[in-house]
Amino acid sequence: MTYKPSTIAIHNGLNEDQQFGCVVPPIYLSSTYNFTDFNEPRAHDYSRRGNPGRDIVQKTLAQLEGGSGSVMTNSGMSALHLLCTVFLQPGDLLVAPHDCYGGSYRLFNSQSQRGAYQVQFVDQSDESALQAALAKKPKLVLIETPSNPLLRIFDIQHIAQLAHDVGALVVVDNTFLSPILQQPLSLGADFVVHSCTKYLNGHSDIVAGVVIAKEEKWVTELAWWANNIGVTGGAFDSYLLLRGIRTLSPRVLQQQQNAQEIVKYLKSQPLVKKLYYPALEDHPGHEIAVKQQKGFGAMLSFEFAGDESQLRHFLRSLSLFTLAESLGGVETLISHTATMTHAGMSAEARAQAGITDSLLRISVGIEDSQDLITDLDHAFKVAAQR
């Protein structure tokens, strides 16, 4: 029987313990496992290669995204690094978004400078620029949609078809929406990556990542290399990630509802110069979002209209919005893009990507939306008086 994502998130791994009848799968903290006899290993022999708890969460994530399997890694960045290690060699080209997450940009740029592979950062909404990059026959194409931090929307199905036509594999970073709101494999992607630190875990208490593959042959290769270079997820993180996934659907839907209320409020604020949220009809790619997403998510960004002094007072006056990097937790976070999440990009690269020094990004949590709006209103009033 095929279940909906909410059911998959709840029921995977339940009631599988045969020894004690545990409803919830236990945590297997053992680093090593004994052999039954000479040259007769069990299903698990060493925890870097495999762990029973990690098996369950990997199966759950693959089913949520509609993939053949997945490999949980020790961070979102190691998930991307794993993909590049497996599928790119010196001289191969990676095509990546010019406005991708700052950590991704830093990884690709630094690896390219060392000669591990080549990278070209492209505005994927510019059809001619995209076509020119694809004409160079890349091996791997990364799509980040919605993008971080400007929430740009890209047509996964269209780009995947173009990439496949030149023999490239397609990776979609689905961190911002989660499989509850978007499933890239069904739109033509070959791989999906997540920073599991974010929505999948949802409680800001682990760092983890995952690569989900459409085809089984890729799962086997990714798992071999993950063990080889030592980027697999640990036992306790696997437990916490699975626990977080149990409430993924209600969390994401509540966060999205709160975000929509906050967007309504921000639209009327004089200190908001420009607002970025895919549900807005004038947002770039809005029609694509309607087509390929099941919702608009809980991430939003805006450009602050005041000067730096007012910006500082605004941030200091917030009580319920924590000034911190990351996203997707039950708590609401706000970050200053240029000095935080995208500080690893040069000022020139940020300018080319449209990231200004006044840009703020909000990850909306599950608090009461009116309390969040009241907090914002107070901070805007303080800033306006400076």
Express each pLDDT in 124-150 by its tens digit.
999 999 999 999 999 999 999 999 999
**Does the annotation count 316 as an active-site position?**
no
Please give the pLDDT value at position 10. 93
Exposed (0-12), middle (13-18) or buried (19+): which is 204, by Cβ within 10 Å? buried
- 212 near 195, Cβ under 8 Å? no
Please give the pLDDT value at position 54. 97
**Does the annotation count 239 as an active-site position?**
no
Please give the pLDDT value at position 2. 83
The average pLDDT across 49-63 equals 97
Please give the pLDDT value at position 344. 86
* pLDDT at 1 > cutoff 90: no
> DSSP secondary structure string, 75-141?
SHHHHHHHHHHHH--TT-EEEEETT--HHHHHHHHHHHHTTS-EEEEE-TT-HHHHHHHHTT--SEE
Please give the pLDDT value at position 354. 92
Residue 257 — left, alpha, or beta (φ > 0 → left; ψ -120 to 50 → alpha)?
alpha
Which pTM was predicted? 0.95
Tell me which residue of 7, 3, 10 sits closest to 245, measured CA to CA. 10
b/e for 327-363, b at 16 or more Cβ within 10 A?
Answer: bbbebbbbbbbbebbbebbeeebbeebebeebbbbbb
What are the distances in angstroms from CA 48 to CA 125, 159, 239, 305? Answer: 40, 35, 15, 49
Q: What is the DSSP letter of 40?
A: B
Please give the pLDDT value at position 307. 96
Instruction: Please pick, among 28, 54, 99, 101, the residue that the annotation labels catalytic.
Output: 101
- 202 near 251, Cβ under 8 Å? yes
> DSSP secondary structure string, 52-82?
HHHHHHHHHHHHHHT-SEEEEESSHHHHHHH
Q: How many CB atoms sit inside 10 A of residue 235's CB?
A: 16
- 223 near 85, Cβ under 8 Å? no
Instruction: Please pick, among 54, 139, 198, 251, the residue that the annotation labels catalytic.
Output: 198
Supply angle C-alpha 257, 258, 262, rounded to 5.
Answer: 120
Q: Give the span between the Cα atoms of 266 and 145, in whole angstroms.
A: 23
Q: Read off the tokens for 256.
A: 């999205």
* pLDDT at 358 > cutoff 80: yes
* pLDDT at 89 > cutoff 90: yes
Please give the pLDDT value at position 39. 96
Please give the pLDDT value at position 159. 98
Q: How confident is the model at residue 211 (pLDDT cuts 50, 70, 90)?
A: very high
Strand 191-195: give its sheet, edge to edge.
Answer: 69-73, 209-213, 191-195, 169-173, 140-144, 93-97, 118-122
> DSSP secondary structure string, 180-248?
HH--GGGGT-SEEEEETTTTTT-SS----EEEEESSHHHHHHHHHHHHHHT-BPPHHHHHHHHHHHTTH
Residue 339's Cβ-side half-sphere holds a number of Cα atoms within 13 Å equal to 11
**Does the annotation count 48 as an active-site position?**
yes
pLDDT tens figures, 270-319: 999 999 999 999 999 999 999 999 999 999 999 999 999 999 999 999 99
Please give the pLDDT value at position 384. 96
Q: What proportion of the chain, given as a percentage, has pLDDT over 70?
A: 100
**Does the annotation count 114 as an active-site position?**
no
Instruction: Please pick, among 123, 155, 173, 190, the residue that the annotation labels catalytic.
Output: 173
* pLDDT at 196 > cutoff 80: yes
Supply angle C-alpha 318, 306, 330, rounded to 5.
Answer: 30
pLDDT tens figures, 4-17: 999 999 999 999 98
Please give the pLDDT value at position 199. 98
The average pLDDT across 148-176 equals 97
Please give the pLDDT value at position 301. 98
- Among the listed ranges 11-25, 114-128, 371-385, which one has the minimum average pLDDT value? 11-25
Indicate the average pLDDT of the chain: 96
Instruction: Please pick, among 17, 48, 55, 357, the residue that the annotation labels catalytic.
Output: 48
